[in-house]
Structure 1
Amino acid sequence: MTIIIISFVLGFISTKIFIGFFKGMLTQAGIVRQNYMGIMIPVGMGLVFLPYIIMNACIADYFHDEKVVPYYILGVIAMSLAGVVDDLVGDRSSSGFKGHFKALFKGTLTTGAFKALFGGAVAFLISLSFTKEIFEIILNTLLIALATNFFNLLDLRPGRALKIYTVSCIPVLIFSSEVSRLLLGGMLSSALAYFWDDIKARTMMGDSGSNVLGASIGIIAAYEFGIWTKIAILAALILVHAVSEKYSITKIIESNRLLNYIDKLGR
């Protein structure tokens, strides 16, 4: 437990230090995008999570010689880099799985289709490390892939994805092993360190950040939970994705007084 606390504190402090450097790097490189208020701000700030993710994986690997550690770090970094592609050259002319794959079938590879295909392949590779049972491989693959994309769907307003991530991490941390608590706890500390910049719309973490949130919690859930718990989580993720194909998540939140209050809290 002591090493988990130390890791959490280190993650928060180090990420706070990294934020200024990454913000300056992205601004100087002209990697900016108009946010929902029409203000140009740095995008791709999710890269700020990567330094401590690697540092924390080193700590986890030193204290816990478990197979999940290298696959966790592989999955999170790979998903983040897939998000970088969308942050840099993303085309917003297509949206949703339906839109991206419709374009693909017409011979056009969108960044969204690339993320889905690449993310699915990464999720499949990680699933193979947990089990050789066909059903569970498929289950883990879908859970990791959809969890990753779930936070993409949420990251349309400042602080929204990070609020849901923080709440979602709590039960996963409670019911996980020590190595998973160390890995996910370190990621959570980085997310909390970045939270203020995000909710005040000073920067956008972009897909390079939201992918990290989803992949980190998806991989740990796939590794730690039993079949029925994973089926329940996957069913919820499928439902959210199905709804998002027809309706705006933002409009659904804004139409509910309580959800809208929570969503705007802190902005």
Structure 2
Amino acid sequence: MIRRLIGTASLAACAAFAARDAWKLLKKYPPGGAELWERQNHRGETLTLLEGPAYTLGSAAAVLIAPGVPARTKAAAVVATLGSGVFGAVDDLRETGKSKGLRGHLGELARGHVTTGGLKVLGIGATGLVAALLVPSRRELGDAGAVVRGLSRTTDTLISGAVVAGSANLMNLFDLRPGRAIKVMLLFAPAVAAPEKAGNLVAVVCGAGAGLLPYDLAEKAMLGDTGANAAGALLGTAAVSGLDRKGQLAVLAVVGGLTLASEKISFTKVIANTPVLRELDQLGRRPAQ
């Protein structure tokens, strides 16, 4: 057990260094120029979105060296991370349309308007399904007929794909204040005690986030859709790799419930009105002005 924890901690440290190295490289050679990635934060100050690509590339690289993770699961994790990051970057850099939230983007698609937000919804959905197809199924059907096995596999793929895509979308909803989304990632740190393949993927999520947290808290950078979507998708992949259908349905219910709730209530207001959450949210941040 101690040996495994040391290995997991080492993997998290590798993910942190990989994300920080990617950050330094991207800062030195920003794709398209530094101004392309500059945005104003909630204070009206300028920061960069390059933290998102740094997180995406760093965590994907760490997945490839994660011990105890089957090759197909690694492929699924890399596809989910890079795919969600790419579609998030499209929305970060080329945002069109005024609709916000999942309902707004789906509404635009229903009216035949393909915005960058709508493209992201479709792209991350497709990415989730591809990742779900790659993760080995945990459902055993014994001597069940071919039709039953086929239907069961299809159901599992749809559920797993929804968990990956839903998790990607949900993580993005927390990236509204410095450090908040990364702190949400770190809340999953106890899950490193899960089955090795799932636990090691969670270690990558947390390690890469921890490596970039100082820049986020200092309000020099933010994850944006690129990094938040990538982190959520990787967490979703960890969930589907370690849980059976019932477990995945439970995760999907929580993810779906929080996503629907976000259409009606503000997470920021809930956090501000809840003392424990407010203190955790403010931890390490600059004082409000």
- 1:250 paired with 2:268, answer yes
| Correspondence list, 1:39-188, <5 A | 39-60=45-66, 65-91=70-96, 93-129=98-134, 130-131=136-137, 133=152, 134-171=154-191, 173-177=192-196, 179-188=197-206
Secondary structure, counterpart of 2:66 in structure 1: helix
> How many corresponding residue pairs?
264
The answer to whether the 8 A contact 2:20-2:54 is kept is no
What is residue 27 of structure 2 aligned with on the other side?
23
Q: Which runs of 5+ in 1 are unaligned?
A: none
**Structure 2 CA distance for partners of 1:23 and 1:240, relative to 1, 3 Å:** same
Amino acid at match of 2:263: E
Q: Is the 8 A contact 1:100 1:112 kept in 2?
A: yes
Could you state the TM-score of these two structures normalised by the residue count of structure 2? 0.84
Conserved 8 A contact 2:42-2:177: yes
8 Å CA contact retained: 1:169, 1:217: no
Per the alignment, do residues 34 and 53 of structure 1 end up closer, same or farther by CA in structure 2, a change over 3 Å counting? same
Structure showing greater radius of gyration is 2
Deviates further, 225-234 or 150-159: 225-234
Tell me how far 1:169 sits from its aligned partner: 3.7
For residues 262 and 116 of structure 1, the distance between their equivalents in structure 2, rounded to whole angstroms, comes to: 30
User: What per-residue deviation string (whole Å, max 9, x for no partner) do you get for residues 57-96 of structure 1?
Assistant: 33237x6553211121111111111111011012361111
Question: Alpha-carbon deviations, 1:110-169, whole Å to 9, x = none?
Answer: 111111111111111222233352332221111111111011101011111111111124
Tell me, which stretches of 5 or more residues in structure 2 are unaligned? 138-149
Q: Confirm whether residue 231 of structure 1 aligns to residue 249 of structure 2.
A: yes
Q: In 1, distance between residues paired with 2:172 and 2:198?
A: 23
CA contact 2:215–2:221 (8 Å) conserved in 1: yes
Aligned to 1:32: 38
Separation of aligned partners in 2, 1:230 and 1:65? 19
Q: CA RMSD in A?
A: 2.1
Task: Tell me what 2:145 maps to.
Answer: none
Change (3 A) 1:51 1:128: closer
Identity %: 25
Q: Is the Cα–Cα contact under 8 Å of residues 44 and 207 in structure 1 kept in the other structure?
A: no
CA positional deviation for 1:252: 1.7
Pick which of 72-81 and 52-61 moved more.
52-61
| Structure 1 residue 32, shift from structure 2 partner | 0.4
- Matched-pair contact (CA < 8 Å) for 2:56–2:231: no
Whether 2:17 is the aligned partner of 1:13: answer yes
Counterpart-to-counterpart distance in 2, 1:175 and 1:145: 21
Moved more, 19-28 or 147-156: 19-28
Name the one with the larger helix percent.
Answer: 1
Give the whole-Å Cα distance in 1 for the aligned partners of 2:38 and 2:97: 15
TM-score (norm 1): 0.90
Q: Using the alignment, how far apart are the partners of 1:261 and 1:3 within structure 2?
A: 32
More displaced 10-residue stretch of structure 1: 230-239 or 20-29: 20-29
In structure 2, the residue matched to 1:211 is 229
Q: CA deviation at 1:20?
A: 2.9
Q: Distance in 1 between matches of 2:119 and 2:228?
A: 16
Q: Contact 1:44–1:84 (CA<8 Å) still a contact in 2? A: no
Deviations 1:30-60 (A, max 9, x none): 1200111101111142111244334323323
Equivalent pair of 1:26/1:32 in contact (CA under 8 Å): no
Q: Deviations over 1:186-221 (max 9, x none)?
A: 332111010111122111111110011101110010
